[in-house]
Structures are given as C-alpha cells and as structure tokens.
Structure 1
Amino acid sequence: MSGHSGSSKRPSRSRLPRAVLVALMLALSACQSGNDEVLGLAGDGAAVQDAAPTAPAKAGPSRSAETLGKGPVKVSMLLPLSAPGTAGDGGRKMRDAAVLAMADLGNDLITLNVEDTAGDDGRARSLATGALASGAKLVIGPTEPGAVRQLAGISGTNRPLVLALAENYTGAPGVYSVRLNEADSAAAGAAAIAAKGARKFVLFMAEGEAGKATEKRVANSLSIYGASLAVALPYGPSTGGSEKAVADMTALVSDPQGIVIASGSANPAPLVAALRARGLLGKGITLVGSNRWIEHGLDDPTLQGAYIATLDSNEIGPIAERFRKTYNYEPDVNVAYGYDTVALAAGIASALGPKGFTKKVIESPTGFRGSTGVFRFREDGAGERAMPFFRIDKGKLKLVEKSTAGF
C-alpha cells in the first residue's frame, strides 16, 4: 500500500456506480485469475523455474507497426522493440505478452496497434504525439522517460488515457505509472511497519524530484496509520556522504522507530553501515529499504534484517505457465506489465465498451487484479499495489507477509 498525495484520507468507494464496479472487476478477474481453461494456470509458481530458457526475439532494424485484433476499441502500444540491451529485451517481452493477452482476451474487443520506438526518445515522442491524435481510447507506453514527461505536459479533455511504462516514473494526471517504482515500494514498506505500531520515522531519500515524490508518498502513507515522518533527508553524491547524512539525522531527531532508505541510484549499503556504526539500528528501530536496493545486490551483511516491499519476480501469476509454453522462454515482470495493461484494456472494453475509458473508471478505488497482484491508479497518476513484504536474510529476500496492508 502507498499513500495518497495531498490527503491522508482513503478515497471514497462511491465514485462509480456499484454495478459498474462489479462488472469491471468480474471482467478482469475472469481475465486474470479464475479462468484456468483460457490461461493454462501453472498450479505451482515454482514450476516455472524448471523451464530451459531461451530468449525473446533479438534487437534489429526498426520494426513496422503491427495491428492485433479486430475489436471496436482502438488502443496504441509504444514499445522499444528494436532497441539494444535490456530496454529492447523488455520491450519485446511486453510485445509477446500483449500478443498472448490479445489471443486470450482482446481480439474481439480491441484493436491494438503496436509501434516500435526503437528506444529513441525523439522517436518515442513523435509516436506518442501521433497516438494521442489517432483516435485511440488508451495509449500503453512508452518506456522512454522524456516521452512520458512530454505526454504528462499535454493538456486537453479529449486526450486519451496513458498507461506509461517508464522506469521510476511516479505518475501525472491522466498519465498513469504502471511499473513499480521506488516511491511505491518505500511507502508500502513504511506503511507495513506503521501498521504494526511504529509511529516515528526518518526517511533518507534520493536527491531531486524523485526524492520529493518519495517523501510525499511515504509521509501520506504513514499518516493513514497515525505515524509521521520526523525528518526527510536527501542522500546522494552531492550531500556529503554517509557520515554526514547520519550526523544530520541525529542532530534533528532522536529515538525514531523506523528508518526508511529510498536512495534511488545511490548504493544504500554505506549509509546502512554508518547507521550501524552509530548504534542506530537494532534497538527497536526497524530499517525499511526499497525495490531499488535489489539493483545493488543484497549480499552485504550490513543489510541483514532490513525489510523491503516489492514484487516477487519468481511468481508473476497465472499467465506464467501459459507464456512459457507459448514462447519457450522465461517470463518476467515485463511480461506481467505487458499482459496486464492489455488485459485491463480488454476488461474495460468488455464491461463498459468504448465509453468506459475514462479517469473515473481507471481511478476506481476498488482497483484491478493483475498477474502481479491487485493494483489501482490514483488521480495524480501514481500506481498503488498490494505486494509481498520481505526481510533480507543472508543476502536473500525471505517472505514475511504475502501482501502489505491492503487498500
């Protein structure tokens, strides 16, 4: 769970007529959880680990647009299909997942136009602008941050909704963040500890706008449980290092019950080591990390015992076995995002038709069930997820709770 920007109140569940909410949830639940015959459930998430992985299609020349399905609702999907490296690999996985979702759910409900951004921000901007003017009811992607920021700056009541796929994007009105980002993870982890009784927190956050977004999310998430941020401190290359950060904290606050470190691209280990050296951990003080810690590895013994709320990449839900059998390579979280966004479009089209693609529907407080769990979008474009809660134990993530506090 994560907080609510600008307010600590839970959103009202009466924003949509009950019949509409029920119809939408039933459509999406059938799409993604209970339909064993269509999805070919694995039965045991661990079975996916036994596959002999191959790989998605390789990077290459820019691809032509691809049209899938013949439904009355037009949807655009912008992916870095021909990009090199991890960007292209992720884009091609999302494309394969979209094809599977269309075959399972969407062929008669939506027409999906998939275009290749090639991982180029300028090309992504151009394609995104074209998608907005194409008559599409929904745009899925792009993954390029600059193009997403451009979309967020475009106003207009007739602009289609956007499910953005950029990394570490925190959302904007009408341009929703699909991927789990650090603000989501840190807020959910802090809330899970606050739900157990901790009330006084310190946040070390990344420098810049990303850190400010994380501060807002963590503070509002804590407020739901009667907890608060005593202080929030930027941490990164220009802040003077770990020792100074810890000294600043001790000068400003005493006896915190929780310390949250969401340091963006900065390795959290030196900061954790400095906290331990001062004796600030292990005395009734809980350490909470973020999903970005995983980028740096969890093997450092100083990280032992910290908590992280994040997705479980080994269990992406009921589509895993179906995907593996279809494509003969391992699914990952990119597959989940690709499948879920197309399935969401199909679910809305099925339940409500073309007129269902509105902010009121997308921002339903009830949320949607996807292959990464239950999620919803807020009016500020941020995504919220119920996700597993882990403790770092000998360099591994050990499951503590199957889901952080629900929304």
Structure 2
Amino acid sequence: MVDGRQVHGSWTWAIALMIGAIVSGCQSKSGVSDTLDPAAIAATPAPAGGAVIVPAKGVQSLGTGPTKITMLLPLSAPGTTGETGRKMLDGAKLAMADLGDKLLTLTVEDTKGDSTFASELAMKAITTDAKAVIGPVELPSAQHLAKLSGSKHPPVLALADDFAGAPGVYAVRLSEADSAAAGAAGLAAKGRKKFVLLVAAGPDAATVEKRVANGLSIYGAALAVTIPYSASDGGTKVVDDMQAVVDAPDAIIIASGGASPSAILAALKSKGIPGKATAVVGTNRWLEHSLEPGFEGAYIATLDASETGPIADRFKSTYNYPADTDVAYAYDMVALTAGIASSVGPDGFSRQVLENRSGFRGSTGLFRFRTDGASERSMPFYQVQQGALKLVEKSISGY
C-alpha cells in the first residue's frame, strides 16, 4: 500500500478496483464507480488460442458495444515502432475480452508509423462519431493534436513517448517531469530539504521545474536553484555553475532529456558526489541508456517494466510472451474507456470525468490526468546498485 506520506492531498487511493477504476461523480456519492470487479478481472479466463505478434494492417473492429472508440497504432511500421504497435494491439484485445466486448466497439486503425497519416486518422476520428481516441503513438502527431483550439473534441489518450500533454489531449506514458518529481519526493520524504535541479534546456524544462518544486513542497523541501543546460555546456561547466550559486545541497536532480547524463555524473564524481551528504536523483529517461558505472548510487523513480499487475499471467498464457509497459498502457486505456462507458454511458467522456482527482488504478499502477493533459503516477523508487535497479520503496509519488 501507499502510505499517507507518499501520496498527498485529495488523491484518493482507497479505490476498490484493481484495473481501470472509473470516476462517476454524477452518479455515485463516493465519486468512484464499482462496475469493474477486481476479483472477476483477475479470474477472467484467457481468450482461446496462443497468439503471436504478427503484422496487422488496415482497420480492425473489436467488440459489439454501443460506445465507439478509435485506437491508432503503428501496426505495419518497421522495426521497434511496429513491434510496439502490435504489442499494444494484443493488450487492447485482452482488455476487450476482459471488460469491453459488450460495452465498446473498438476500431483499430493502422497509422503505419507515419505521423502525417496518424494525424489525418486522428482528425477523422474526433470529427466523426468516436467518443474517445486512444493513441497515436507517433509523437509529432500527438503534438499536432495538442495544438487544436477549443475543447469540444472527444478526449485523446495519447500513447506517444515523451509527450507533455495538452488540455483534452492526455499524456498516458510516464513523463520525465513526473519521474523527476517522484524521485525528488522520495528523498524529501526521508528528510532531505535542499535540492538542485539540473535540467536539459528545451520546451519541457519549465514543466520539469514546476513539477519538481510542487513535489518537494509536500515535504517542506525546496529547490535552491534550477540550472538549465545545453548539451554543449559539458558536465564540468554545469557542475561549476551549480557550485558557484549553492553550497552543499542535500540532493541534485538531473533531468537530462534524451541525452545521457554521463558527463555530468563524471563531473559530480570528481567532486565526491554522490556521497553521504549529497545524493543524486535521475529520471526514467536515464534508462534509455545502459546503466553505466557512473550511474552507481543514483536514485530513480520509474515504472517496473516487468510488473503488469493482474494481467501478467493471463497475457503470457494467451499471447506466449510477457506483457511489458507498452502492453499495459494499451490495456489500461481500453479498460478506462470501457469503465466510463459502463458507469457513465457513451456520453460520459468529459474532462470532468477523466480529470477527477481520485484518479484510476490500472495494471501500470495508480494514475490520474491533470487539467493540462499531463499524467501523474505512483511508481516504484529505486537506487542503482552494482549496475542494477534495487527497490527502495514499492510506491512513491510527487503529488
């Protein structure tokens, strides 16, 4: 369980559901629908047959329910992009078999990994009869949708990596801002008070800073300074700039974007950091790189790629490979839309429902959507020890 110090404020984690808990404020005094029984979900038999990942093209229709949902996946894209899309399709199929078959008609369209085509499909979906769109996976397409004016279009649950979100266009995946905030909060909860944020310069830097500052404030901690840096600055310059303005911080957070933090870590190591007095906090984006010796001792809050909750066993027995976070994200979004359709009805896909502060519990853990389209998640807290992630806390959040 997540204790009261780890999850703060009005985020009500006493949700009785294991997957896709759905808010129905207009129908339930408790603000939470109990339509999805966790025992029933966990006991759902696996669909017949052991499917394997094979290329899929065109349009597929799953389920016979009255609520129409469109899902956009790069099913025939080459390489890892196509593999991700096909894994997500399997996650969606399992969620439909578990929860959505009689509630949703899920139309799955192949974006082919083409951002322009994905945008065209998304625009068609939100201007016709879809009650919600799950996807796209392509980042430029999600960013294009984020620029749409007005809030009349159906909600978009974007599956793109490194997407910041926008009003009505929700970022499903764990973001660096959320990871950094949770990691900082994990150390603040243990009594550290003075933090420094080193953040890669760019459009997401201000978001990372704001989220980290908010997460620290929960525990009476604060950012002493935020230093944006560019890749050309080099690790030594960033560390020298930091030491020129702040003395003896309790922890240094490094939000490096897509770049490796190795140069900064090497410069910190030359100063004896991390050490007993000063800790280092990384983010989920560090894990896009191999865990080098310089990562040793750093703390990182991130999702456990091997932990997919109650769907793990059934997914593997059905599809003959283990579920990962890609599978889980897709499963959870289909489960979420099925739950809304069940508890509120086909016309219940409002921002009020999706942005309810009670949040949802899915196979990826506890999460909620913000009014700005970003997501907030509870996640495990790790320390890098001997080249591997070692669990420090089972669940932590920066909110």
Cα distance between partner residues in 2 of 1:205 and 1:212: 9
Cα distance between partner residues in 1 of 2:161 and 2:151: 26
Task: Answer whether contact 2:172 2:329 (CA < 8 A) is retained.
Answer: yes
2:163 is aligned to 169
- Aligned pair partner of 1:38 in 41, 44, 48: 44
1:78 is aligned to 72
Task: Answer whether contact 1:23 1:351 (CA < 8 A) is retained.
Answer: no
Report the Cα offset of residue 54 of structure 1: 9.5
2:192 is aligned to 198
1:26 is aligned to 34
Cα distance between partner residues in 2 of 1:326 and 1:220: 42
Do the aligned partners of residues 132 and 17 (structure 1) sit closer, same or farther apart at CA in structure 2, a change above 3 Å counting? closer
SS in 1 for 2:70: strand
- Does 2:112 match 1:105? no
- Aligned pair partner of 1:251 in 238, 244, 249: 244
Cα distance between partner residues in 2 of 1:186 and 1:396: 19
> Letter of the aligned partner of 1:208 in structure 2?
G
Cα distance between partner residues in 1 of 2:346 and 2:160: 26
Report the Cα offset of residue 22 of structure 1: 4.3
SS in 2 for 1:87: helix
> Letter of the aligned partner of 1:119 in structure 2?
G
> Letter of the aligned partner of 1:275 in structure 2?
L
- Does 2:370 match 1:378? yes
Do the aligned partners of residues 184 and 21 (structure 1) sit closer, same or farther apart at CA in structure 2, a change above 3 Å counting? farther
Cα distance between partner residues in 2 of 1:54 and 1:348: 28
> Letter of the aligned partner of 1:307 in structure 2?
Y
- Does 2:279 match 1:286? yes
1:146 is aligned to 140
2:212 is aligned to 218
CA deviation string 1:6-52 (max 9, x = no partner): xxx94587x97485374744234x2x666332166xxxxxxxxxxxx
2:343 is aligned to 351
Cα distance between partner residues in 2 of 1:381 and 1:308: 23
Task: Answer whether contact 1:132 1:139 (CA < 8 A) is retained.
Answer: yes
Report the Cα offset of residue 379 of structure 1: 0.7
- Aligned pair partner of 2:111 in 105, 112, 117: 117
Cα distance between partner residues in 2 of 1:54 and 1:134: 32
- Aligned pair partner of 2:308 in 281, 302, 316: 316
Q: Across the two proteins, how many residue pairs are aligned to each other?
A: 379
SS in 2 for 1:376: strand
Task: Answer whether contact 1:236 1:266 (CA < 8 A) is retained.
Answer: no
Cα distance between partner residues in 2 of 1:368 and 1:122: 32
> Letter of the aligned partner of 2:294 in structure 1?
T
Cα distance between partner residues in 1 of 2:104 and 2:332: 14
Report the Cα offset of residue 345 of structure 1: 0.4
Cα distance between partner residues in 2 of 1:111 and 1:277: 58
> Letter of the aligned partner of 1:27 in structure 2?
T
- Does 2:63 match 1:69? yes
Cα distance between partner residues in 1 of 2:160 and 2:41: 30
Task: Answer whether contact 1:79 1:95 (CA < 8 A) is retained.
Answer: yes
Task: Answer whether contact 1:21 1:366 (CA < 8 A) is retained.
Answer: no
Name the Cα RMSD after superposition.
Answer: 2.2
Report the Cα offset of residue 406 of structure 1: 7.5
Larger helix share, 1 or 2: 1
2:4 is aligned to none
SS in 1 for 2:86: helix
Report the Cα offset of residue 87 of structure 1: 1.0
Cα distance between partner residues in 2 of 1:347 and 1:120: 30
Do the aligned partners of residues 33 and 214 (structure 1) sit closer, same or farther apart at CA in structure 2, a change above 3 Å counting? farther
Cα distance between partner residues in 2 of 1:17 and 1:163: 20
Cα distance between partner residues in 2 of 1:22 and 1:110: 25
Normalising by structure 1, report the TM-score.
0.88
Report percent identity of matched pairs: 54
Cα distance between partner residues in 2 of 1:153 and 1:208: 18
1:340 is aligned to 332
- Does 2:57 match 1:57? no
Do the aligned partners of residues 270 and 131 (structure 1) sit closer, same or farther apart at CA in structure 2, a change above 3 Å counting? same
> Letter of the aligned partner of 1:399 in structure 2?
L
Task: Answer whether contact 2:25 2:31 (CA < 8 A) is retained.
Answer: no
1:45 is aligned to none
Task: Answer whether contact 1:54 1:329 (CA < 8 A) is retained.
Answer: no
1:155 is aligned to 149
Task: Answer whether contact 1:236 1:263 (CA < 8 A) is retained.
Answer: no
Normalising by structure 2, report the TM-score.
0.90
Do the aligned partners of residues 143 and 255 (structure 1) sit closer, same or farther apart at CA in structure 2, a change above 3 Å counting? same
- Does 2:396 match 1:401? no
SS in 1 for 2:241: helix
SS in 2 for 1:78: strand
Report the Cα offset of residue 303 of structure 1: 1.7
1:261 is aligned to 254
1:301 is aligned to 293
